[in-house]
Amino acid sequence: MNNTTLVYIIRDDRVLLLCRDRKENDENAGKWIGVGGHFEEGESPEDCMKREMLEETGLKALSWKYRAVVTFVSDRYGTEYMHLFTVSDFEDTRGNKREPDCDEGTLRWVPVEDMLKLPHWPGDELFLKRIFEDNAPFFSLKLTYRGDDLEAFEFDGVREA
């Protein structure tokens, strides 16, 4: 079972998205997602989020919102607990005002209203709609996939599909 983080970095009306287009055998190949990755030994969800954000973008999180835990169940990739964050208060440690460079894919600032027009996992729409609401409460979401198809989902333990 894997523990990962995913962070959506927000600046004005844009969100920094990563197109996973540079790694071989990437389960997220061709999809646009936030930045993040796997926990290292001894890390909390916040520690992992801050480290991954800095490593992948050069942006240092100054404050954040811990939005959700998303459980992915997949017949292809195993089970993963993803800790989901948003960050709108950060500093650029590279002094770069454009898209930062990342060895895992292409980073781009995308208008929030356009992010779901880009290729993504079907279940991403369920949590993305919630995390961009200002006062959305913390939630748990379970997504069950067969291959790339979303078979079922549960919000806070209640099955919805």
CATH of domain 2-159: 3.90.79.10
For residue 96, the model assigns a pLDDT of 59
Pairing mode, strands 14-19 and 2-11: antiparallel
Whole-model pTM: value is: 0.91
For residue 74, the model assigns a pLDDT of 93
For residue 27, the model assigns a pLDDT of 78
- Judge whether 35 and 53 are in contact, CB under 8 Å: yes
- The owner of tokens 């993963």 is 80
Measuring CA to CA, which residue among 21, 25, 11, 69 is closest to residue 45?
69
For residue 161, the model assigns a pLDDT of 57
3-state class of 53 per DSSP?
A: helix
- The owner of tokens 């369920």 is 126
- Judge whether 137 and 127 are in contact, CB under 8 Å: no
- The owner of tokens 């599909």 is 161
Q: So where are the chain's domains?
A: 2-159
- Judge whether 39 and 52 are in contact, CB under 8 Å: no
**Cα–Cα distance, 37 to 82 (Å, whole number):** 9
CA 98 remoteness from chain centre: 20
What's at 101, amino acid-wise? D
Note down pLDDT in tens along the chain; length 161 residues: 899 999 999 999 999 999 977 677 767 767 899 999 999 999 999 999 999 999 999 999 999 999 999 999 999 888 999 999 999 999 988 875 566 667 778 899 999 999 999 999 999 999 998 998 878 899 999 999 999 899 999 999 898 75
**Cα–Cα distance, 147 to 95 (Å, whole number):** 40
